[in-house]
Each structure stands twice: as C-alpha cells, then as structure tokens.
Amino acid sequence: MTHSSEPRLSGHGGDGDEPAGPSDAVGAAAERGEAGDSPPWLEPEGLGGRLHPGAIGVWSLQMLGAMAVVAIVRPEAVVGLLAVAALLLAVNGMRWKRFRWRLSDGTLIITQGIIQRHRRVIPLERIQSVDVVRRLSHRLFRVEALHVEAVGGSDTEGQLDALQPAMARQVRAALLAGRDAGPAGQRPGEPAQPAGAGTAAAAAIDASATASEARHGGALDDEGHELARVGPGQLLRAGVTEANVTVLAAAAGFGWNLVSDRVDEYAQRLPMSVGPTAAIAAVAVGLLVVAVLLVLGQLITYWDFRLTRTEREVRIRRGLLEQRFDTIPLRRIQALRIEENVPRRLLGYAAVKADVAGKPGGGSTGTDTLLPFGTAAGARELVATILNDPDAPQVPLVAMPRRARTRRRVRAVLATALATAAAVGVWGMPGLFAAVLLIPAVATADASYRALGWARDHGLLVARAGWWTRRTAFVPEHRLQTPARRATLLQRWRRLATVELRIARSPGLWSGPRWIDLDAETADARIVELAQLLPTTTWGGQPVPTSATSRFPG
C-alpha cells in the first residue's frame, strides 16, 4: 500500500445542509463498497468494531519468534514451549475479543483489556499524525496497523494493530479529515504566532505547500509531489559511509555478546604467539563485519525510501522488513538540518533531518529523516524546497573569533598532557610517546573551529558545528521558543559565549541548534534581538521577554 492509493472519502449529512463528518465519510464508504458484505467483526455501520482476526496472529508472533529460538537452543524445552504457545494464543484470542474501536462524534474511542478495562478517547482535532505500519507478520495475515499520535502525548496514543488494507485507508482518511477540520489558519494544539514574527521568511514552512501548489499548476493530489527517492545503490553507499559512532558501538556490543562466552575456550586453542599477519587479518575481518552491519542497517531501515509532500504534510515511505508510511505535518517541523560526516563530505554526499515538535513514539528522538542519503546539492535543494526559500542553504555564515580556535587548542594540549601523564604512570618513560597525540588533537581542534558558523538572515537562524559530523541547522525565527546564553570557565577566560536556539523538540542525542563560541558582546546583542521575537509580559510597567535566559554573569 502507498499513500497514492488512499481514496478521497466523501460523506453526506443526514438532513438538509448538515455537513458530513469523518464518521459519515467512513459510513458512506462502507455503503458504497461492502455495505452488505461487512466482515462479522465490524459494526454494521462501518464506524468501528473489533480488529481483524489476524491481530491474534500478529500479537502471538511477537513472542513466538523468541520461543522458537529457545526451542532451537534447548530442544528439551519444546513440550513446555508448546504449552506456553497454546496459552499465548488463548490469551490473545480473549484480548482480540475484548478489543473495540469506534469513530464517534469527532473522537476515536479505543476500549481494551481482559481483566481491567481501559478506555482511551482521542479527539480528532488533537491528532498529529496517523502512520501506517506493515511488518512481516502483518503481511502474512494481509493486514495493516495504524499508529495514531496526538499532540502532547508521550507515546503512541492509539494503536489499531490489524485492519484490512481498505479499511485502514478509510479510517486513516477519516482521522486526518477530522484533524484538519480545526480553525482556519491555526493548527490544533499550536499557539498563535506572536506579533512581529510574521515576516515572509518566518512563515516559510507554513507557506511552502501553497507555493508548491502554484508552481505545479494546481492543487496537490492525495499522493503529493515527490521530493526525494533513495534507491538500493544509494543505500549501499550510505551504509559504507555511515561511520556512526553509535552504530559502531552497538555492533561491537552485539558481537561481544555473541562471543564472550566462548572467549576462554578459543584462547586456549590459539598458539602462544600470534603473528602480525593473523592480527591484521582479524582486524580486517572485524571491520568487514561492521561494514556489512552498517550496510544492512541502512537497507533494512530505508529500503524503498520515498519522500512526498501534500498541502499540509510530508509523507515518508520506507522499510524492508517493517514497511512504514509516516506523516509529518508541515506546521510541526521546527527546524531542518543538513548532516555531513567526513567520508560523505569528501565524496559530496549529505543527509537531511527535521526536528518535529512533540513527536511521540517508542524510542523516538523527535527527529525524522527526510533524506537518509543523497548528494550535497540535492540536500540543499530539499531544504530550500521545504523552507520555500531557494537562498536559504546559501546564506553566508559568519566565522567565530580566533579566540575560539585558541580555546580549542588549549583543550587539546591539556587532554594530551593528561593522556601522556597517565601513559607514563603505567608504562614508565616509554609512555612519553603518547605526546605524539598532540598532532591529531590540534588538527581536530582546528577542524572543529573551521566548522563553526552562524547567521541570521531574512527571518532564518542558521547554526553550524561539528568537526566529524558537520550539522548545519536552519530554524525559522517564529519557531524559536527560548534563546539561552551560556559560558563555561574557559569561554569566560576568552570572552566567548554560546547562544542556544531552543525549539520545541523532543530530547535526543543531538543537543539542538547553537551558536557556539560567539564573541561575548555579540552574544549579548543577539540575545536582545532574539528576545524581541518572543511573546512579552509586563513587570513594573515594563515589557519583559517571557523566555530569554542568560547564564553569563554581567
């Protein structure tokens, strides 16, 4: 299933000019199609009911896979596992029978629970996105899952784990129709824009869909306009050039868990001394395994990746083992950033990610990948398209003062001195050779300084940092929530400061957009300018910004 196959639902009111709602749309769709052939687990009016019976299999397979692994490792436990599997099927059967969902009066109502009943009511105007998930277990039973995320939720608010594909499309369309039926000009759950922040560039993301509609000569259809597509060949290059420290650590941990129990046994079989050829071969094999894992990770996660945009949202299709159809409302995108690690930067490749306000979900960091891999020029073009500003990626950045480079070199010298002292303490005088680490340390410090940059241009805040993975963030001014000014002890010594551009984003590995190592006086001026963009209150008759903070004395 793709989003292009979603039908436009049209309902009809019961009397006169009464407008049709989302529930009417689903009912009308049922009457047009299978009104007389509705499956027995659905309610006759087509507004809800139980899930597809395949939900029993989907839920059971989540545990049966682990049980199959145990059966292979411990064959003597097969009888007990069969009893557990039978019990699991029975429990999931009762869970399916007690599960109900319904669209009624502008709300999605989900009732579930075997012993203790839980009833969740989700107003349609609070819905942020409705994502379609299709794992291998779903494809086995020819069903699809809908994950409903609401504004302000800390996790997936509503989950319909097994619906027929046609019903999933109808329900998703009805939910989105109810979501979009809010007050004109304001998305549900979002504050009104402050006065003075309504420059043309400040509303760039909100206006991008309208501009695209004009460029393409008419309204966008359900499928939307394709912005990016990533093929298998690009994903192979993405895996090879990933070089992500987190992924490498996870791969190393996974490998260690596999062999840790056998280390002693293998060590006893090895000869007393291992030649350099064997050691080099072992390292080469390890690097090859890591490279394969990186490539497989990219292929599995982003297979058949496609990014499209409709009038109100961007849609992402991706996944091999688990096919996902994600939606991101344009008004929830708080910032865009281009990421380029060293290998990709040398080869002219980059990725594009977005910070999304209040993006819930298990393990979500609030960051959604809009382009996992592409040319640097293509990444800049994508950012320009979403911001509706062709010059945004070309904004000239202002370099930080040279004192920032000196600060980094001082840190490099101190770190090398500590490492050398530790080496001497362990190995004696030969440990002095650790001092040669000063060369790459200083080189890294200089690279980190050259990566720094900042700009404020036509309602857009730009921040760049990172020597290994260079991140260039683009923040529309009206997305800014709190500008904060900080300074460490070394920064104060060099008369420097950092300005944090805080936006509505979920916490993650990335610290967010920051202007690092600005001149202290420049940071003062920028804080004053940015504070004027914020809503104000009064204190003693004087207007005071509500969110500007500073941790730099004086």
Question: Residue 25: is it exposed, middle or buried by C-beta count within 10 angstroms (0-12/13-18/19+)?
Answer: buried
Distance of CA 30 to the CA centre of its chain: 35
Distance of CA 472 to the CA centre of its chain: 17
For the chain, which residues make up each domain, given as ranges? 3-126+158-183, 402-550
Give the model's pLDDT for residue 41. Answer: 58
Give the model's pLDDT for residue 335. Answer: 93
CA torsion angle 291 297 300 306 (round to 10): -100
In contact, 418 and 431? CB cutoff 8 Å? no
Helix axes 165-179, 22-32, angle to 10 degrees: 150
CA distances from residue 256 to 74, 288, 422 in whole angstroms, order as listed: 22, 16, 27
CA nearest neighbour of 533 among 184, 57, 201, 51:
201
CA nearest neighbour of 479 among 206, 212, 208:
206
Give the model's pLDDT for residue 551. Answer: 35
What are phi and psi for residue 280, nearest 5 degrees? -65, -40
| Series of mean pLDDT values for 10-residue runs along the chain (554 residues) | 35 37 41 49 66 92 80 80 88 93 90 91 88 91 91 74 92 86 46 40 43 38 78 89 59 53 52 58 76 83 92 89 88 92 93 82 58 95 91 92 94 94 90 92 96 92 94 93 91 93 74 92 93 65 48 34
265: helix, strand or coil: helix
In contact, 476 and 459? CB cutoff 8 Å? yes
Task: Report DSSP letters for 510-539, one per residue.
Answer: S---EEEEEEHHHHHHHHHHHHTTS-EEEE
Give the model's pLDDT for residue 45. Answer: 52
Region for residue 130 given its phi and psi (left: phi exceeds 0; alpha: psi -120 to 50; beta: otherwise): beta
Task: Report DSSP letters for 49-91, one per residue.
Answer: EPPPTHHHHHHHHHHHHHHHHHHHH-GGGHHHHHHHHHHHHHH
In contact, 160 and 146? CB cutoff 8 Å? yes
Give the model's pLDDT for residue 80. Answer: 83
Give the model's pLDDT for residue 342. Answer: 92
Alpha carbons within 13 A on the beta-carbon side of 30: 23
In contact, 398 and 215? CB cutoff 8 Å? no
* Two structure tokens written together for 29: 């769709």
* Two structure tokens written together for 414: 């101190």
Specify the DSSP class assigned to residue 478.
G
